[in-house]
Amino acid sequence: MIRMCDLPRYADADMEEIKKMKEAHVVLNQITYEPKALYRGYTDKRLKIDVSDNSVSILDIPQEVKEKFTGGKGYCLRYLWDSVNPQTRWDSPENAITMSAGPVAGITQYGGTGKCLVCTISPMTDIPIDSNVGGYFGPFLKFSGFDMIELTGKAKEDVIIVIDGNKGIISVEKAPLEHRDAHILGEELTAMYAEDENDRKNVAVVCSGSAAEHCNLSMLNFTFYDPKRNVVRLKQAGRGGIGRVFADKRIKALVCRFKGVKANLNDVYDIKILNKDGLKFHREVATLDNKQNAMRKSGTAYSLQTLSDYDILPTHNYKYGGTEKVSEMKAEVWQEKWLTQGGADGCWYGCSMACAKTADHFLLKTGPYKGCRVCVDGPEYESAAGLGPNCGITDPQVILELNFYCDTYGIDTISYGTMTAFLMECYENGILNKERTGGLELVWGNAEADLELLHLIARNEGFGKIGALGSHKQKAYFAEQGWGDMDFMNDIAMEQKGLEYSEYSSKESLAQQGGYGLTNKGPQHDEAWLIFMDQVNNQIPTFDDKAEALYYYPMFRTWFGLLGLCKLPWNDIVPADNSLRDEPAKVPEHVDNYLDLYYGVTGVKIDRDDMIRMSERVYNFQRIFNIRLGKGLRRNDAIPYRSQGPVTEEEYLSRQERYDRQLVELVGKTAEEVQAMSLQEKMAATRSYRESEYEKLIDAVYPKRGWTLNGVPTVAHLKELGMDLPELLEIVEPLQDVQP
Amino acid sequence: MKRLEKDEALCTGCRQCEEACSKAFYKTADRMKSCIRITDREDGTHKISICTQCGICAEVCNTGVISRDAKGVYRLDKKECAGCLMCVGFCPEDVMVQSDDCLEPSKCTACGICVKACPSGAIRLVEE
Amino acid sequence: MKLNDRPYENWHEGLTIRGVMDYMHFTWPKLVVKVNGQLVWPEDYGNVVLKEDDDLKIHHLLGGG
């Protein structure tokens, strides 16, 4: 076991080099301002920076926007809408990157209260992506006086943006000598803007990595400085290619410095409530985490073995739901061999859930940093599953190396994992071969080829140029080249709306198929994670039950992104008596805590219905935003068949008993009929049934959400929500009676 | 090394120690503002909870504001403390103090005020 | 016997809750187990013997993604 107390600290940056880098900066614009203090969670100010002309504006956020959009994702989407028009593409100058933390973010007493939401028009989906990220930038932005930052335009040369929230200085500067890869750039800027060693924890950096200039899968890293390790840590706004937009705007990094983090910078309404619930939460984690998920020991990777046991762990591009070899990477292996134990690993102050684990002084075996010993953040469950068994890899050392390079290059581990799984299946099926990949033998489990692909993407060389496209565009390319059949590739490429799926096999859960397919941004599990409730517990058996869940959970979970909260403390730890409550899956005591926190910060009392209402406003706004940009109707909620059932014979045969039984129990065949059917006939009948079930699911879900059967929010529903805004009615009114 | 030690058999449950500690640092007689806490057991004996200088508070702090001094006493630097209260929540003896009047919690500094206040010698300060 | 409202095919005399969990390969530790609406605590999983017409619920609590 690797213990925190035995760990040597990482080396300091070379301050001479840092000095030279700083001296090479050219300030293009600098303003001073009076940082507005927070009041009950808000400053009501937003910062807008247009890098086309380096203009810096500080604008008000009006009361009506606060009332309807709350904060966080709500603010991000509102101001993104205002910045773009229906013809705007991801690389248009008017595409904006908006970031907002939310009114509760920045308190320190409760776990998971430092989150920031980031939105932009995605290069992968061409509609808004929303991404939730930890680290210190979100709270520091608030403390610096801003509920939101909006980045528009395009710079002629790479710039960084520096915000000093104590001194009240914002500058746009050229920073020519700094590196691009996040694990170095983060260190350079932290060392550069910290006044001394003790001040490093007061510097937060946002940056992508060297892949961002050409890779659609690029994300944003949000840093925080770890004083115990003396290293800069990386959290990610992972999904949707925001890093690509960032680099397209020629923004290399954002830096925000704020000194003086205290428990009440939000100037909350009643701090006693925060103290009481925070202390209660910490005590809960202290006594129960070990008996529950052991998040403090293994992070979110605790569930790998379990999900394989239940046939949910995506294996070989979601063909299968698990593998015996997952034992090589189960929670105990991470805890005992790879992840440092005993660190204070929250990604914001006061997070006792402390799930941001690291593999320290990890020796890299490939790539530009081969031979270096680095700090690897993660792996999260998603990264471990996607980079791992989904690609046929179960060696923790390989997963850590892939994870590290994805992070530093600025590439989303989920999209990279799911995309590589697709490429491997293409290779296994002859759609790709050594000639077409320039020598990369992308077969299941080939770690060497996988890592080499990642490095090629970062260098924009060879097959890396194809790798950089993402699976949605790769299908079109492969079909164009005449390499593969489009229908087959549409079945197996696990992407929807242009975004790769995250790492759960939804084949046996119709509710989760909807949980992925009926999302706004694309198949990300942060709206609804219903697999166990559906597949194992059978708690939502009817279409009505599933529809209710697919209405409630996305709305409930949207709320976290309006307030600046992390969802993990909601249900990855539960009170001791949770099983005795009604609806334990909703963890009612924790929901009460969140209502308390909202009241304690803002002074506004809300109930559970209000929570849903607040979310519904933003959720429907986002749906209409999708429609505005051409991708928000029923047809855009179609899903690849691999997410629903067995595409290939080997998949059917691997679960033949189950599928044959379902033909009898669900599809209505007799046992004799099934006996007589050929494999192809059985597969066709299974497919036809499952596809029609999904359509029936949509028919049940849309009305629950207040939408027409074509997926358009109804005027009546918008009026009920107080969202009958002219710009929204303009879009939905003509579509009210249009059939799917 | 400086440490508090206890002998529960000598404790009469008078709680002078609690009063002395909370009065010294919070100007009020309140056991929840004392770094030493007495709990009555059903059999009439008394449990004395003291800071054992175990260091768990320092371990869970993400900012390193709690550190060991030369005498092995864990001290909390209020200046840098962000008031997250994780140390209070994780204290295995539950003897850290969180007060709503103060953004930062406090902890036992092995000052010995409680020892002086104890009439029966149930607690003592040991220096090695 | 029903498990999570689905017919359970492997009932036999002397079947315990633990037996069901082993057969179903239910390895996740955070469970809410009820027999005919009555909560059963983990220490009793090996003791509670199931009757042929029992309504067994083994609900997994997994935070998930």
Contacts of A264 in chain B (CB under 8 A): 83, 103
How far is residue A280's CA from residue B86's CA, in Å, rounded to a whole number? 10
Lowest mean pLDDT among A133-137, A444-448, A582-586, A702-706: A582-586
Predicted complex: ipTM over 0.85: yes
The amino acid sitting at A282 is H
Give the minimum alpha-carbon distance from A283 to chain B in angstroms, rounded to a whole number. Answer: 5
Residue A462 has pLDDT above 80, yes or no: yes
Residue A389 corresponds to which tokens in the numbers above?
A: 């068994």
Is the Cβ of A197 closer than 8 Å to some Cβ of chain B? no
Predicted local distance difference test score (pLDDT) of residue C65: 72
Please determine, for residue A193, whether its predicted confidence score (pLDDT) is greater than 80.
yes
Fold matches, A14-257 and A289-500: no
Give per-residue pLDDT as tens, A483-522.
999 999 999 999 999 999 999 999 999 999 999 999 999 9
What is the rounded distance in angstroms from the CA atom of residue A79 to the CA atom of residue A194?
Answer: 31
Close Cβ partners of C61 (under 8 Å, ≥ 6 residues apart): A532, A571, A574, A578, A579, A584, A585, C30, C31, C32
In tens, the pLDDT along A123-132 reads 999 999 999 9
Q: Residue C61: which pLDDT band, with cuts at 50, 70 and 90? A: confident
Contacts of A4 in chain B (CB under 8 A): 59
pLDDT at C14 (0 to 100): 94
Please report which confidence band the pLDDT of residue A580 belongs to, taking 50, 70 and 90 as the band edges. Answer: confident
Q: What is the pLDDT of residues B21-61, one digit of tens each?
A: 999 999 999 999 999 999 999 999 999 999 999 999 999 99
- The predicted pLDDT at position A378 comes to 84
Structure tokens at A317: 């591009």
C2 touching A, CB under 8 A? no
Q: How far is CA C18 from the centre of its chain?
A: 7
User: Which among A644, A316, A648, A530 has a CA at the least distance from the CA of A326?
Assistant: A316
Amino acid identity of residue A553, one-letter, is Y
Give the model confidence (pLDDT) of A365-386 as tens digits. 999 999 999 999 989 999 999 9
Residues of A with CB below 8 A from C62's CB?
Answer: 303, 306, 532
Min Cα distance A680 → chain B (Å) is 58
**Do the chains contact at B100 and A275, CB–CB below 8 Å?**
yes
- Whether residues C65 and A572 touch (CB distance < 8 A) is answered with no
Q: Determine contact, residues A430/A437, Cβ cutoff 8 Å.
A: no
The three-point CA angle B22-B27-B32 to 5° equals 35
Instruction: List, in order of start, the domains of chain B with CATH numbers.
Output: 2-127 (3.30.70.20)
Question: Considering only CA atoms, which of A338, A335, A143, A347 is closest in space to residue A232?
Answer: A347
Q: Among positive and negative, which fits the CA dihedral A316, A321, A324, A326?
A: positive
For residue A272, the chain B residues in CB contact (below 8 A) are: 100
Interface check for C7 against chain A (CB to CB < 8 A): the answer is no
Amino acid type, A548: E
pLDDT band at residue C63 under the 50/70/90 scheme? confident
Q: Quick one: what percent of chain A has pLDDT higher than 70? A: 100
d(CA A421, CA A418): 5
β-strand partners of A225: A232
Residue ranges per structural domain of chain C: 2-60
Distance from CA of B116 to the nearest CA of A (A): 31
Q: What is the pLDDT of residue A8?
A: 95
Would an 8 Å CB–CB cutoff place A109 in contact with chain B? yes
Kindly identify which residue of chain B lies nearest to residue A112, measuring between CA atoms. Answer: B84
Average pLDDT over residues C23-39: 91
The token duo for B44 is 């009439």
| Closest Cβ–Cβ partner in A502, A537, A580 for C60 | A537
Q: Report the percent of chain A where pLDDT is more than 90.
A: 98
Which chain A residue's Cα is nearest to C64? A529
Residue of B nearest to A276 (CA): B100
Q: How big is the A-C interface in CB pairs under 8 Å?
A: 61
Q: What is the pLDDT of residues A207-231, one digit of tens each?
A: 999 999 999 999 999 999 999 999 9
Cβ <8 Å between A310 and C28? yes
* CA distance linking residue A588 with residue B118, whole number of Å: 45
Considering the domain A289-500 in this protein, what is its CATH number?
1.10.569.10
Judging contacts by C-beta atoms under 8 Å, the chain C residues touching residue A590 are none
Q: Is the dihedral of CA B115, B120, B123, B125 positive or negative?
A: positive
Q: What is the CATH code for C2-60?
A: 3.10.20.30
CATH number of A14-257: 3.60.9.10
Which of C3, C45, C60 to probe the A interface (max A CBs under 10 A)?
Answer: C60
- Please, which pLDDT band fits residue A447 given cuts at 50, 70 and 90? very high
Q: Do residues A658 and A507 make contact, with C-beta atoms less than 8 angstroms apart? A: no
The beta-carbon neighbor of A293 closest among C6, C59, C63 is C63
**Subunits with at least 3 CB pairs below 8 A relative to chain A?**
B, C
The amino acid occupying position A339 is L
How far is B60 from chain A, CA to nearest CA, in Å?
5
| DSSP output for A668-704 | ---HHHHHHS-HHHHHHHHHHHHHHHHHHHHHHHHHH
Query: Which residues on A lie below 8 Å from C57 (Cβ)?
Result: 537
Host H or E run for residue A358: strand A358-363
Query: SS3 for A20?
Result: helix
Q: Do C30 and A292 touch (CB under 8 A)?
A: yes
Domain boundaries, chain A: 14-257, 289-500
CA dihedral A647, A649, A655, A660 (to 10 degrees): 90
